[in-house]
Amino acid sequence: MKTLRFGIEIETVGQTREVVARAIHSVLGGHLRGDAVLAPDGRTWRVVHDGSLSGGTRSGEIVSPILTYADLETLQEIVRAVYKAGCRADASTGIHIHVDGASLDARAATNLVKMINKQERILERALGVTPARLGRFCRPIDPAFMARLEAARPRTLADVSRAWYGHDNARPTRYDQSRYHGLNLNSLFFRGTVEFRYFNGTLHAGKVKAYIQLVLALTAKALASKSTSSKKRAFSEASAKYDFRVFLLGLGLIGDEFKTARLHLLEHLSGSAAWKNGRPTRAPEAQRAPEAQRAPEGAAEERR
């Protein structure tokens, strides 16, 4: 997970692109060139126009260079500086995270699609994806694509590409309409990155970090797994928080390092994080839940 490279696009409203760039420069130093910041390490951060944002000229999309896990603290400082400069997120904004696809073969790419398909409903609820964004900019995985992928049993990325587009596509384009899915594989075939588009806009530094940790963990799990199931998981409002927490722990987001990530990723879900069917109401001497009902190993610190 911590070896994967990534990039992020953060959409903002409330200030001009020049103001956003100055805020980024205040953290990084280096050279400020209009809407871009050339950092001392040679990497360039850009603030670009996005016509879908509500702010008109007082809006912009932050486009990071290639980042590593070690850059997370600096990224959070940039998010805080941009917020302090008067930028905001609204219903028109979103966050897109790109994970380097260089290590993804057909097996890993298929695993990632199947894993997302299985958990997509609870993932959308956990992230609070708005109905408007689900219907347009981050649509669920296409059932027709899923059927083609299952039937193809891909051995090469070309097989995955054929399933994604529904035909041979030797020259994918950046703005192919298939990109408007929460999991965007058009980006993999066009530029070599898997794009995750599920995230509502935010300038909360802790949430931005949690989102990145989530997609890195998902990708790492896909790389490490021999195979996975694609059968959609039934969604239960009553046990959603428990169910998703178990999933996060299974991805490796366990322990104090990821405690804040779990907090942000579980906040929109109902139920108890520690008890699948709610905390037992039996007498104290009988409160030890059956094995199937207790939170997994490592969960005790959050029950206190």
Q: Which DSSP string do the residues of 55-103 spell out, in sequence order?
A: TTTSEEEEE--SB-GGGHHHHHHHHHHHHHTT-B--TT-EEEEEEE-TT
Whole-angstrom CA distances from 126 to 34, 231, 265 are 37, 19, 6
Structure tokens at 47: 């603030």
Res 113: pLDDT: 98
Res 297: pLDDT: 44
Is residue 295 helix, strand or coil? Answer: coil
Amino acid at 207: K
User: For residues 68 and 47, what is the distance between their CA atoms, to the nearest angstrom?
Assistant: 20
Q: Environment class of residue 196 by beta-carbon count within 10 Å: exposed (0-12), middle (13-18) or buried (19+)?
A: buried
Please identify every stretch of the chain with a pLDDT value under 70, giving residue numbers as ranges: 282-304
Res 279: pLDDT: 76
Res 280: pLDDT: 76
Q: Which of 94, 118, 79, 131 is nearest to 230 (CA)?
A: 118
The domain segmentation of the chain, as residue ranges, is 6-224, 240-280+288-302
